[in-house]
Amino acid sequence: MTIYQNLIAGEWTGAEAVENINPSDTKEVVGLYASGSAADTRNAIAAAKAAFPAWSRSGIWERHVILKKAGDEIMARKDELGALLAREEGKTLPEAIGETIRASQIFEFFAGEALRLAGEVVPSVRPNIGVEITREPLGVIGIITPWNFPIAIPAWKIAPALCYGNTIVFKPAELVPGCSWAIVDIFNRAGLPKGVLNLVMGKGSIVGQTMLDSPDLAGITFTGSVGTGKRVAVSSIEHNRKIQLEMGGKNPMVVLDDADLSVAVEAAANSAFFSTGQRCTASSRLIVTEGIHDRFVAAMTEKLKTLNVDHALKTGTHIGPVVDERQLKTDTDYIEIGKKEGAKLAFGGELISRDTPGFYLQPTLFTEATNQMRISREEIFGPVASVIRVKDYEEALAVANDTPFGLSSGIATTSLKHATHFKRNAEAGMVMVNLPTAGVDFHVPFGGRKGSSYGSREQGKYAAEFFTTVKTAYTLA
């Protein structure tokens, strides 16, 4: 079998490889992907450092052309790359193709942003002096990504990094190297100079840790678990390095008595269970006022009966498998914890067997949960949600905000008063009214508050905040 290698200083390299396994069918090896060493990582950092002076001064047209070429190729290959994504991660083919299209749109967006780079010219408070404010690239950026969005998250970090003139060392998650390899291959063929984008696949404890220990990374943008995010933060203080962290969520979806029931059920089922619940914006706490509670639970249960869990590539599959055995164990452990804590298992909770051996778990709904239970406080990252019954809007808002996280927060209501109040008072980076907590646009800021995020926002023009550094220049006229 061919080994998909790492790209370091423009050369494909690496003989040590690991199997990329399909979670829908564990007999299928998607491919053999290189597993880099600490030395590979140091070489990649050195290559990115050497490439920085020229790339940071490259013309904006060159950056535009390369980003656009990459976006165009991803769009042209959306079905093939979508299938690769579905095979390595397990989300359904329509979800995977949708994510691939999203990656293309992100590259197209930043191809445009490259042409819109601008600064400010302002008068000085002193006479005969002019002041210019410009944005300059930061330097070498370390990009560390998780497994749940194998093409979109790399895209939304690589695109702005290149757009604003930075060079990159990119380490994707071990479970899903395929889409990352494909993106890097596309850029390599699109004419990106050697060393500007280096790919080092491999273990977090080796490749990732070597990146954290390096004094040569000017910034690290990370999406992953809270624990690893903290390591990124601590190491970065030592190296005086800029960081952008996206970590967990425990996102609430409030359902009020006056909600349109079908809108509420669609939003909640999508938020909690699509993409197998493996989204940091998934809603796992469904906070429902008592007047609609029983109708909502009944309608959700009916809805869950209609969702097929099966092979990601099969037509008619609504929910693919859990990503791997470790995550499946986490999910089933939390289901046991929920039962022991006294929540009522209203639907699901069982493993399912299908034609192919995979990590299939029923969508699982708890009711009679409280906000103090571990299943309500800790991120599970699987197809597991709980309904928390509350008296009224005021209690719903208080429960929604009573969490260590603050990524996305949703409400289903037909009341303008409550929707407006919720938008103003939800302690989250993103608020959704009558929409799922997951599912965001690519041209506007993405990110959260409290334990969910650290540093400035990702995506849209707000991405410039992280990927550039501001210079203020004074000139005597």
Query: Could you tell me the smallest distance in angstroms from the CB atom of residue 265 to ligand ADP?
Result: 29
Task: Tell me whether residue 70 or residue 217 sits nearer to ligand ADP (CB atom).
Answer: 217
Number of neighbours of residue 78 by Cβ within 10 angstroms: 21
Task: Tell me whether residue 231 or residue 421 sits nearer to ligand ADP (CB atom).
Answer: 231
DSSP 193: P
Alpha-carbon distance 137 to 335, whole Å?
46
Task: Tell me whether residue 146 or residue 383 sits nearer to ligand ADP (CB atom).
Answer: 146
Query: Could you tell me the smallest distance in angstroms from the CB atom of residue 395 to ligand ADP?
Result: 32
Query: Could you tell me the smallest distance in angstroms from the CB atom of residue 173 to ligand ADP?
Result: 4
Task: Tell me whether residue 408 or residue 468 sits nearer to ligand ADP (CB atom).
Answer: 408
Alpha-carbon distance 428 to 447, whole Å?
9
Task: Tell me whether residue 71 or residue 248 sits nearer to ligand ADP (CB atom).
Answer: 248
- Transcribe 448-476 into DSSP letters: -SGGGEESSPBSGGGGHHHHEEEEEEEEE
Catalytic residue among 280, 379, 458, 465: 280
Task: Tell me whether residue 144 or residue 217 sits nearer to ligand ADP (CB atom).
Answer: 144
Annotated active-site residue 280? The verdict is yes
Q: Which residues bind ligand ADP (CB under 6 A)?
A: 144-146, 171, 173-174, 204-205, 208-209, 212, 224-225, 228, 231
Annotated active-site residue 378? The verdict is no
Query: Could you tell me the smallest distance in angstroms from the CB atom of residue 212 to ligand ADP?
Result: 5
DSSP 276: G
Alpha-carbon distance 290 to 351, whole Å?
31
Residue 84, CA distances (Å) to 4, 79, 127, 180, 299 in order: 14, 9, 62, 11, 35
Query: Could you tell me the smallest distance in angstroms from the CB atom of residue 175 to ligand ADP?
Result: 7
Task: Tell me whether residue 337 or residue 433 sits nearer to ligand ADP (CB atom).
Answer: 337
Q: Which two tokens stand for residue 96?
A: 């995977």
Whether 174 contacts 206, CB under 8 Å: no
Query: Could you tell me the smallest distance in angstroms from the CB atom of residue 308 to ligand ADP?
Result: 26
- Classify strands 384-390 and 468-476 as parallel, antiparallel or unpaired: unpaired
3-state DSSP assignment of residue 442: coil
Query: Could you tell me the smallest distance in angstroms from the CB atom of residue 146 to ligand ADP?
Result: 4
Contacts of 254 (CB under 8 A, 6+ apart): 287, 288, 393, 396, 397, 400, 409, 410, 411, 412, 413, 422
Query: Could you tell me the smallest distance in angstroms from the CB atom of residue 204 to ligand ADP?
Result: 2
Task: Tell me whether residue 36 or residue 429 sits nearer to ligand ADP (CB atom).
Answer: 36
Q: Residue for token digits 């596309």?
A: 186
Phi-psi region of 202 (alpha: psi -120 to 50; beta: other; left: phi over 0): left
What angle in degrees, to the nearest 10, is found between the helix axes of 60-76 and 152-163?
160
Closest-CA residue to 464 (of 242, 246, 281): 242
Task: Tell me whether residue 98 or residue 204 sits nearer to ligand ADP (CB atom).
Answer: 204
Catalytic residue among 174, 246, 458, 465: 246
Query: Could you tell me the smallest distance in angstroms from the CB atom of residue 49 to ligand ADP?
Result: 19
- Transcribe 285-344 into DSSP letters: EEEEEHHHHHHHHHHHHHHHHTPPB--TTSTT-SB---S-HHHHHHHHHHHHHHHHHT-E
Alpha-carbon distance 400 to 385, whole Å?
14
Question: Is 416 buried (19+), middle (13-18) or exposed (0-12) by CB count in 10 A?
Answer: exposed
Q: Catalytic residue positions? A: 246, 280
